[in-house]
A and B are shown apart, each in its own frame.
Chain A
Amino acid sequence: MPSIDDELSPLQLNRFQQLRHFLTIEGLSRKHLTDILDTADTFIEVGSRSIKKVPLLRGKTVANLFFEASTRTRTTFELAAKRLSADVLNINITTSATSKGESLSDMLRNLEAMAVDMFVVRHAQSGAPHFIAKSVTPRVSVINAGDGRHAHPTQAMLDMLTIRQHKHKFEGLKVAIVGDILHSRVARSQIQALNLLGAEEVRVIAPDTLLPPYIDQFGVKVFSSMKEGMRDVDVVIMLRLQKERMEGALLPSEQEFFRLYGLSQDKLVLAKPDAIVMHPGPINRGVEIESAVADGPQSVILNQVTNGIAVRMAVMSMAMSGQIAELTADEEVA
């Protein structure tokens, strides 16, 4: 059955196969992902300067369109755009004209008329950023900041950057993704990225009720027991329990979930001694992960947050660059 990605992933590349929008990991090549990681690496250094800004997107305008609540992701996108010297509009959708009955299309047309160059879109509906990318003018790039259960590609890429910083390569790595796989757009993007970058084995560890159907077709090994799944892994990625997306009771209780699938020190010892612990945040302490592990020496959770800015700077500048290359080529033809 074709997925959203199969149908729409070519949309995010320009005719030169450069990033034009960033909507999903699927359909991209290992080189695309490596280029994003390499560019992000160069932006990390910018964060250590006395003036944490480069003039790359000076004169450009980025609009954060968050149709779904988010503080951390919106903040890091805003900071990334500002560090690239772009002007940033944060559109609060709940109080904006769409709640007064204006259609999404009219809102986008109005933002285009204000000469906005990039939309960063978060939406509860899977495929919304794709829909927007299809409808915008050639002078706008769209970045997916998380859509439904579908994808969260910048989060996946900041996770990849964090893994590469600590493990230096993906080949030979065993990575366990633990928890609420069913509702996680992050997990889906992580699995695609890890497989594309050459990880040896991607495991998912979750109760049956929190696994999507046909998960084994995603190129993962499925475990229902932490004891088995955690053995000898290099990276442990804990997921947040998406309680707001659960319809009905999928868990006996949070205490029971923590006992079986929460990351505690006694479960972490099953992984390799130098295994790193990750979590996309926000953390439910004592539910997905115990504080001693979240704040412990193997945790790289705060590195993930820092890397989020660099990755978003990379993706924004590369998408804008792809837009410019396409527009320049169009002008030469005209």
Chain B
Amino acid sequence: MTSLIDVDAAMRDMVEKLKQLCAERNIDKPALVGIHTGGVWVARRLQSLLGWDGPVGELDISFYRDDFTRIGLNPKVKASSLPFETEGRDVVLVDDVIMSGRTIRAAMNELFDFGRPASILLVALMDVGGRDLPIQPDVVGASRRLQSNQRVKLLGPDPLAVELREKTGSS
């Protein structure tokens, strides 16, 4: 299939922006943390392109979603894993697609339960707009506006591709 965006070009662009931002803010060797599932794939790819060492942290925000009282528990919860101290550390939080901002809010709430980071930079491969909350990424690979019946999904982990999907019926 054809990817909606050129993922490799977007990743290269993200790497340059992230390096520049870290330099501006005097951030050295931050911890990369991806949000399950697509965010972890993007974070791992970033880690490799940046040449940073150390493990990539993984967050599953299922226990932090604000819609539990409407839709219940995600049946496929994965354990979060942060194999490093986040207390006092600069963290780069990575997601594949940012839309409403609710996932990022939940991820930041979860991050703070592991300790208080010195700072958090937010990186997203794609920004599709439609924000419900005042949360904006610091680095974005590509931006697209979607129609109300459209959604995007990251396919991966190798190769990474962004698929455009149209919602059908009431689902």
Contacts and interface: CB of A to CB of B under 8 A. Distances in A.
Contact of A321 (B64, B72, B113, B115): B72
B81 to A, nearest CB: 7
B113 A53 contact: yes
B114 interface: yes
Interface stretch (A37-45, A100-108, A168-176, A196-204): A37-45
Contacts, number: 58
Nearest to A328: B70
Contacts of A300: none
B63 A35 contact: no
Interface residues of B, number: 22
Contacts of B109: 55
B114 A50 contact: yes
Contacts of A56: 63-64, 68, 73
B79 A42 contact: yes
A59 interface: yes
Given A39-B77, A45-B81, A55-B64, A50 B72 contact: no
A35 B75 contact: yes
A49 B75 contact: no
Nearest to A42: B79
A62 to B, nearest CB: 15
Contacts of A46: 63
Given A39-B77, A45-B80, A45-B81, A328 B71 contact: yes
Interface in A15-57: 35, 38-39, 41-42, 44-46, 49-51, 53-57
B73 A318 contact: yes
Contact of A42 (B77, B87, B110, B112): B77
Contacts of A320: 72-73
Contacts of A57: 68
Nearest to A56: B63
Interface string A253-268: 0000000000000000
B95 interface: no
A42 B60 contact: yes
Interface string B49-70: 0000000000010011000111
Interface of A: 35, 38-39, 41-42, 44-46, 49-51, 53-57, 59, 317-318, 320-322, 324-325, 328
Interface of B: 60, 63-64, 68-73, 75, 77-81, 87, 109-110, 112-115
7 contacts: A39-B73, A45-B79, A50-B115, A56-B73, A318-B73, A322-B72, A328-B71
